[in-house]
Amino acid sequence: MKSHYRAVVIGGGVVGASVLYHLVKFGWTDVVLIEREVLTAGSSWHAAGGFHALNADPNIAALQSYTIDLLSEVEKESGQNIGMHMTGGISIASAPERWEWLKASYRIFQTMGIDDVHLVGVDEIRKSCPILNTDGVLGGLYAEREGHIDPSGTVHAYAKAARRRGAEVIEHNRVIELKARPDGQWDVVTEQGTIVAEHVVNAGGLWAKQVGRMAGIELPVSPMEHHYLVTEALPEIKALDRELPLIVDLEGFTYMRQEQKGMLLGIYEINYKHWNMDGAPWDYGIELIQEDKDRIADELALGFSRYPCLETAGIKRWVNGAFTFSPDGNPLVGPVRGVPNYWVACGVMAGFLQGGGVGKSLAEWMIHGEPEADVYGMDIARYGDFAANREYIRQTTGQFYSRRFVMSYPNEQLPAGRPLKTAGAYDAMTEAGARWGNSWGIEVPLYFAPKTFEEPPTLKRSAAFAIVGEECRKVRSGVGLLDISAFSRYEVSGKGAERWLDRLVACALPKPGRARLAPMLGDNGKLKGDLTLFNWGDGIWWIMGSYYLRQWHMRWFERELPADVAVRDISDDVVGFSLAGPAARQVLERVTQADVSHKSFGFLACRPLDVGLIRARVGRLSVVGELGFEINCRANEHATLRRTLLDAGRDLGLTEYGFGAVNALRLEKSFGIWSREFTQGYTAAETGMDRWIAFDKGDFAGRATALKEKDEGGPRRTLVTLAIDAADADAGGYEPVWHQGRRVGFITSGGFGHTIGKSLALALIDRDVAEAGTELSTHIVGVERPARIIPASPYDPDGRKMRG
């Protein structure tokens, strides 16, 4: 063991070994992995070892695909047998809604480029897996690139390959303490001595919680118990001349694979159980938890019913081991805001499936400053401090675990960890009929309905369709009031604020008293934000954006923050309401003495205003394409602002509306949103955000790459608006788009335009078919539907209403 390394990876499971391998593969040879006991002595050694090609997040699916390809490469490079069995796998459905969901998923996987997947009928399922009782089965989704590996062999393969490239692996050496040094490095205090590390990676697995606390970080992870059983050899399997595919029984909460001539049956039980929520004991090693058959009895009965040969099988062993879960089940990866050179790679529940992609992305991040892929779905910054709360972790991880195989619907609202953050008018809005969604811990109104109204989960148009439509019509014809507490707000001040902002965003900076749409680019030229920048004219600037990106954006802002600039997240202190619609100005005029006429307060103007009793900051803009004002107030004034505006607009038909209507209204204007049309995987030119870029203003982050794309003729694909001949369902996102049988792109988001009476979608498609009028098709909930490209902004294409 040396006294200094460029990077120290803490944890010898599959994730830590993969991170080590990728660091050295990409060029950092002065790296070491430190393991408290021996490699695999945590979750890795007892993992079932299955790998699956499919994931609902296309970016994570791509990383899983990378892992599957990498496994055989690492086996060859290391000389270590990993016991790979590429058996294929089938997810089976026994409920009509699930079968419908699988058919829809099949089309979305085509969008992801996963082409070795197809739907299978009951006869084919029975032929592929003759030990399966297919009673009640409606069909399945077959994936060719699924199978299982030897967990221990795989970890050792990563480690051996890393060693051959120059990395070190030190076992039986627990990390005791981490001490941040003034120069940004770390003192890694171990049982065998202290190491100075430029970077520390927490790949602690079951001990990630403790390794986080060594750096003053509370990670939103918790170990949970998970059962599987392995049978003795079964005559039914011994009689086969081939290996069985993996089977996931989505209604039975079980997964199955062949284990030698027997069977491995794993269970995701509804009655979940946490285990050592503060992390495993340090002396816990290659051990198991006592099985609890009573707790899993119901799911076990379903499994025995699905595989009748289990009734007479001998059970070779039970495995009840702990795995670490995050609130949404996805990994926690990346740099931790405010803790320089401390990286996490933990909460990787599917370590053997996702470990390769996690290692690749984190190594790229550490070495090059950004991962190649858009990995927001597993970025640690998708959570804030609220997620470190023990009860929040208990509820959300338990909810995820118990719903691992439970079908989720796009209009379904899950209860765990809610309500947590609420705006001041929450109770009054609830009394008025608000139905709530959740964004990064805060409750956001979806629509307003009678108290007796119920919205059953569905893949198709929901029972709230008509309610949302009525809200849209009232906004377009009169005036609507929208709670905008769930917008992020950052205050920028200081002597160097203007200079820093000019480098940060790609647009020209707004003049005092003005606002501007502000694309922000990464160093790679891809999007880092679709922001709105306000210059209040008093030395204070605001950046506004997506609420759930607060930690992510603050980490980016603080990356190279000069000493003469202060950036403060004021999102919890400042909230507000938006007025939008033809009568919006009339309402505002009744509650302010200021001149808010178009001449005095034109489109994209901003200034402080007295609104009733409140000293507000008001911007002249709208997210729904109507005449609008965003009125920002202090958090403790929120309820008063609502009452003031409702009283002023009552005779004008002022109606409260939610973000269900916002989605419909913004689609009619072809307005994109973050995580759909705009992500860090897309460039500004692809999404149309380049029209806001001021290439001539001087240097800014990402300028060179964006300019190169422009000079070379622009991107291969572009964002268009589609009208879809839909029936009882609308596009949700990631559906494939076809032109004469060729896949030419995919839908980024969709919904119904209630004002124009059309099912609409925005889609990224190849430029050679992007002309208005082009006939296309797509699949909505698995059913092919005609579609055509229409001119952007089908409602008020000239924007006169918004600017009026």
714-759 pLDDT, tens digit per residue, is 999 999 999 999 999 999 999 999 999 999 999 999 999 999 999 9
Question: Which of 40-54, 64-78, 287-301, 774-788 shows the lowest per-residue confidence on average (mean pLDDT)?
Answer: 40-54
Query: Is 618 inside a domain boundary?
Result: yes
As a whole number of angstroms, the distance between CA 63 and CA 74 comes to 16
Q: pLDDT tens digits, residue range 573-602?
A: 999 999 999 999 999 999 999 999 999 999
Query: Is 104 inside a domain boundary?
Result: no
As a whole number of angstroms, the distance between CA 269 and CA 461 comes to 31
As a whole number of angstroms, the distance between CA 417 and CA 394 comes to 9
Query: Is 43 inside a domain boundary?
Result: yes
As a whole number of angstroms, the distance between CA 557 and CA 533 comes to 14
Query: Is 713 inside a domain boundary?
Result: no
pLDDT score, position 113: 84
The last residue of a domain, from among 380, 414, 444: 380
Q: What is the pTM of this model?
A: 0.96
| pLDDT higher than threshold 80 for residue 54 | no
As a whole number of angstroms, the distance between CA 30 and CA 168 comes to 8
With b meaning 16 or more CB within 10 Å and e meaning fewer, what string describes 152-184? bbbbbbbbbbbbebebbbeeebbbeebebeeee
As a whole number of angstroms, the distance between CA 376 and CA 529 comes to 13
pLDDT band at residue 165, thresholds of 50, 70 and 90?
very high
Q: 90 pairs with which residues across the strands?
A: 142, 247
pLDDT score, position 71: 95
Q: pLDDT tens digits, residue range 469-524?
A: 999 999 999 999 999 999 999 999 999 999 999 999 999 999 999 999 999 999 99
CB atoms within 10 A of CB 86: 16
Locate 157 and state its tokens.
């393969």
pLDDT band at residue 21, thresholds of 50, 70 and 90?
very high
Whether residue 501 sits in one domain with residue 372: no
Q: What is the mean pLDDT of residues 165-191?
A: 98
User: Strand 480-483 and strand 574-580: pairing?
Assistant: antiparallel
Query: Is 762 inside a domain boundary?
Result: no
Whether residue 47 sits in one domain with residue 194: yes
Q: What is the mean pLDDT of residues 24-51?
A: 94
Q: What is the mean pLDDT of residues 629-646?
A: 98
Query: Is 671 inside a domain boundary?
Result: no
Q: pLDDT tens digits, residue range 290-341?
A: 999 999 999 999 999 999 999 999 999 999 999 999 999 999 999 999 999 9
8 Å CB contact between 789 and 771 = yes
Q: pLDDT tens digits, residue range 255-304?
A: 999 999 999 999 998 999 999 999 999 999 888 999 999 999 999 999 99
Whether residue 637 sits in one domain with residue 493: yes
pLDDT score, position 199: 98
pLDDT score, position 52: 81
Q: pLDDT tens digits, residue range 92-127?
A: 999 999 999 999 999 999 998 888 899 999 999 999
As a whole number of angstroms, the distance between CA 782 and CA 784 comes to 7
From residue 354, how far is each of 101, 349, 359, 651 by CA, in Å?
A: 24, 8, 9, 57
CB atoms within 10 A of CB 569: 17
Name the nearest CA neighbour of 715 among 693, 740, 688, 733. Answer: 688
pLDDT score, position 55: 74
pLDDT band at residue 454, thresholds of 50, 70 and 90?
very high
The last residue of a domain, from among 648, 663, 678: 663
Query: Is 516 inside a domain boundary?
Result: yes
Whether residue 18 sits in one domain with residue 159: yes
Q: What is the mean pLDDT of residues 434-454?
A: 98
Whether residue 376 sits in one domain with residue 491: no
As a whole number of angstroms, the distance between CA 510 and CA 497 comes to 13
pLDDT score, position 285: 81
Locate 628 and state its tokens.
């609008």
Percentage of the chain beyond pLDDT 70 is: 100
Read off the CATH number of the domain in which 153 is found.
Answer: 3.50.50.60
pLDDT band at residue 53, thresholds of 50, 70 and 90?
confident
User: Strand 262-267 and strand 614-619: pairing?
Assistant: unpaired
pLDDT score, position 634: 98
Whether residue 502 sits in one domain with residue 374: no
8 Å CB contact between 469 and 757 = no
CB atoms within 10 A of CB 185: 18
Work out how many domains the chain is built from and give that number.
2
Question: Which of 111-125, 627-641, 650-664, 666-680 shows the lowest per-residue confidence on average (mean pLDDT)?
Answer: 111-125
As a whole number of angstroms, the distance between CA 180 and CA 338 comes to 12
Q: What is the mean pLDDT of residues 415-424?
A: 98
pLDDT score, position 45: 84
**Mean pLDDT over all residues of the chain?**
96
As a whole number of angstroms, the distance between CA 94 and CA 92 comes to 7
Residue type, 450: P
Domain membership of residue 525 as a residue range: 487-663
